[in-house]
Amino acid sequence: MRPITDLIPVLNDFKKIIITTHANPDADALGSSLGLFHFLKARGHEVQIITPTDYPNFISWLPGNDQVLEFNSTNKDLVLEMIQSYALIFCLDFSDLKRVNGLADAVATSPALKVMIDHHLEPENFDDYRLWDVSAAATAELIYDFIISIDEKKAITADIANCLYAGIMTDTGSFRYGNTTSKVHRTVAELIDLGANVNKVSRSIYDTNTINRLRFIGFSLLEKLIVDPKNNIAYFSISEKDIQQFDLKKGDTEGLVNYALSIQGIIMATIIKEDHGEVKLSFRSTGDFAVNKFASDHFEGGGHKNASGGISYLSLEATIEKFKALAIGFKEKYGSS
């Protein structure tokens, strides 16, 4: 594995490039992918973005979205064949191949060279070139650095600026999380100068609620939120029945966990949610409390220190019991790491 600076002099040799990202892409995953897509296309490469799954409507307005190929059962053979036949694969916003779900084997066995651009902890070794920095707030911040290390700032069009701004805005919780460095602010200042439309991006992402989603949030706060002040933990459990009752769509539970984290004194907030026969967990924490370690120790997951996820194959009820038992020791075991 070599640093990404070694790729730059030979980038033009790669005519056919795939960009992929993690399953259930968020705005950073898709914004980074589309930002890089526009840049590489303008330089004359043939580029295909492939996402392992579909993604919520509140990011499908991003410029270039119609060029994205979502892997599914109807295009399986075509997509797997493309992954084998392209020359270079950019892997954005993940560093653990499991996170591309059904594409993992194809990416691992493809003769293409692989480029990892990411900011998650503990990367695996599947890449040939790497731009990896856990201190980056978003992969989109790294894509910005990558582009300007190759070209002048004017290579960043308004479309690219909007894509990258969306990724940085969401991964910093609108510039509120601890990862919001002065460099983040300098980068987004440049993106705004280059055409990012702050109001359009934030309204498109945050202000496109359905009434069902708002009512679901009200219901969850009233009926589903459990607060354990002794252990400084708060969590929601959401069943398939709740999801059906409010006709929830993909992405509709995103952001709910932050209400639990906003309670005074809470150091870890969690959503435990039934999801097609499995149970997905989303963890958020404050300060030095490391939910990524909690997720990898107990729920086959990982992520960032203050935002991570995992999975359970127990029933919803059994997962809640497991979580409650583990939560008792969370403060002592996962604090000030």
The dihedral through the CA atoms of 326, 314, 288, 333 has a sign that is positive
Q: How far is the CB of 175 from Mn ion (least distance, A)?
A: 15
Kindly list the distances between the CA atom of residue 224 and the CA atoms of 49, 102, 193, 236, 263, in Å, as whole numbers in the listed order.
38, 33, 43, 5, 15
**H or E stretch at 197:** none
CA gyration radius, the chain: 20
- Amino acid 310 reads G
Residue of closest CB approach to ligand 5GP = 309
Nearer to Mn ion, 180 or 239 (CB): 180
Q: Which of 127, 141, 159, 171 binds Mn ion (CB under 5 A)?
A: 171
Question: Residue 123: which of 105, 89, 90, 97 has the closest Cα?
Answer: 97
Q: Which of 20, 93, 143, 147 binds Mn ion (CB under 5 A)?
A: 93
Nearer to ligand 5GP, 251 or 335 (CB): 251
Q: Tell me which stretch binds Mn ion (CB under 5 A): 91-99, 121-129, 211-219, 242-250.
A: 91-99
Kindly list the distances between the CA atom of residue 264 and the CA atoms of 121, 260, 261, 322, in Å, as whole numbers in the listed order.
28, 9, 8, 25
Q: How many other CB atoms sit within 10 Å of the CB of residue 71? A: 23
Q: Tell me which stretch binds Mn ion (CB under 5 A): 33-41, 166-174, 194-202, 322-330.
A: 166-174
Query: Number of residues in contact with Mn ion, rule: CB under 5 A?
Result: 4
DSSP string covering 66-102, please? Answer: GGEEEP-TTTHHHHHHHHHH-SEEEEES--SGGGGGG
Q: Which of 28, 127, 252, 274 binds Mn ion (CB under 5 A)?
A: 28
Nearer to Mn ion, 139 or 162 (CB): 139
Q: How far is the CB of 41 from ligand 5GP (least distance, A)?
A: 27
Q: How far is the CB of 138 from Mn ion (least distance, A)?
A: 5
Q: Interface residues with ligand 5GP (CB under 6 A)?
A: 96, 120, 282, 301-304, 307-311
Nearer to Mn ion, 93 or 274 (CB): 93
Give the separation between CA 223 and CA 216, rounded to whole angstroms. 10
Residues that bind Mn ion (CB under 5 A): 28, 93, 139, 171
